[in-house]
């Protein structure tokens, strides 16, 4: 799609520069068809067409690739941030489960049930129910399928091995992918689609028909061909080809615009999810720190109690591993 669009941009721009240049210059100088001077001017116009068309095609194609890459990278960065905060959010809940069992046997099934209850509780307490509904459903219902159980199993494997398994990162990525795929997006309006189709169609038709008409004018000025009147079939073929490519490009333009719109919608959803989860995560940490400060005694060797999770090192795409910091010699808080 970008290759064809860049090609027609180059053809239209080159024709708009080269053929008028030949026509205006030959008319101004009063050049006679078939003369040596008009042949030289025609050659210059042909070279100018090739140079302008090639340069325009290259720049347009490079800009299209750069824009697509920038959009993809932007979405990747936002997904990476959501990955991090979602990881921390789920890990926070798992930590609450570990504290609730008080060093008893760790059960994956009980942990999954505990986490799902916490998700439902957060959903009911949220002021952004429509915003978070897809997220919590993707995590707590059958939509997540085996992925959610794999996340929990990997977390408990981390606990048993005292290490962080790299398998946790793609599992969270899978949760995010499922979330984006299951969340409906707003489609382009019919008015917007008609505008895109119209602009793409007339631009493509003008590039092909205008280039061919200008080229036939060049041949007529050189005395080689008397325009479309000498070859009517060529004129009809030009119109048919221009209409066909105009239709193809208008359909492709709609598809490209829809993909770009979906990408923007996904980016907006991720930003919204990240913003709320970040607020929820930091709020819960603040509450836990406050509870520790009031309810937990600590030795003088420690300046202050710490929250349950303190970032230690990065894993994968900036996923934080969270470590355990004791608040007293007789008590420690598990984290991983």
Contacts from 176-179 at CB under 8 Å and sequence distance 24+?
A: 176/79, 176/82, 176/83, 176/86, 176/270, 178/138, 178/143, 178/144, 178/147, 179/134, 179/135, 179/138, 179/273
pLDDT tier for residue 177 given thresholds of 50, 70 and 90 = low
Residue % of the chain over a pLDDT of 70: 64
What is the pLDDT at residue 169?
61
What is the mean predicted confidence (pLDDT) over 159-172?
55
What is the pLDDT at residue 23?
86
Answer yes or no: is 104 within a domain.
yes
Q: How many domains would you assign to the chain? A: 1
Answer yes or no: is 334 within a domain.
no
Is 17 in contact with 49 (CB distance < 8 Å)? yes
Answer yes or no: is 336 within a domain.
no
DSSP string, 167-198: THHHHHHHHHHHHHHHS--PPPPHHHHHHHHH
Q: Tell me which residue range forms the domain holding 45.
A: 2-323
For residue 302, pLDDT beyond 70:
no
pLDDT tier for residue 49 given thresholds of 50, 70 and 90 = very high
Answer yes or no: is 328 within a domain.
no
């Amino acid at each position: 799609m970008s290759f064809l669009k860049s090609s027609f941009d180059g053809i239209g721009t080159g024709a708009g520069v080269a053929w008028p240049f030949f026509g205006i210059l030959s008319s101004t100088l009063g050049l006679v068809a078939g003369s040596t001077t008009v042949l030289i001017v025609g050659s210059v116009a042909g070279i100018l067409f090739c140079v302008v068309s090639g340069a325009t095609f290259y720049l347009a194609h490079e800009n299209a690739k750069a824009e697509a890459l920038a959009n993809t990278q932007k979405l990747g960065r936002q997904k990476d941030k959501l990955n991090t905060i979602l990881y921390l959010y789920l890990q926070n809940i798992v930590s609450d489960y570990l504290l609730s069992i008080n060093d008893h046997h760790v059960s994956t099934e009980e942990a999954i049930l505990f986490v799902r209850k916490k998700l439902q509780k957060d959903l009911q307490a949220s002021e952004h129910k429509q915003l978070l509904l897809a997220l919590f459903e993707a995590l707590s219902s059958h939509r997540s399928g085996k992925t959610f159980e794999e996340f929990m199993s990997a977390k408990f494997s981390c606990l048993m091995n005292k290490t962080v398994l790299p398998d946790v990162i793609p599992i969270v990525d899978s949760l995010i992918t499922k979330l984006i795929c299951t969340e409906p997006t707003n489609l382009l309006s019919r008015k917007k689609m008609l505008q895109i189709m119209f602009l793409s169609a007339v631009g493509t038709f003008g590039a092909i028909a205008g280039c061919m008409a200008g080229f036939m004018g060049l041949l007529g000025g050189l005395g080689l061909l008397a325009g479309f009147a000498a070859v009517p079939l060529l004129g009809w073929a030009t119109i048919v080809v221009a209409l066909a490519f105009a239709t193809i490009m208008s359909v492709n333009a709609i598809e490209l615009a829809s993909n770009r719109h979906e990408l923007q919608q996904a980016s907006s959803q991720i930003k919204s999810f990240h913003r709320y989860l970040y607020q929820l995560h930091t709020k819960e940490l603040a509450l836990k720190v406050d509870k520790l400060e009031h309810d937990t005694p600590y030795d003088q060797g420690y300046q202050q109690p710490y929250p349950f999770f303190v970032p230690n090192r990065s894993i994968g795409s900036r996923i934080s591993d969270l470590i355990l910091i004791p608040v007293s010699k007789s008590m420690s808080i598990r984290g991983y």
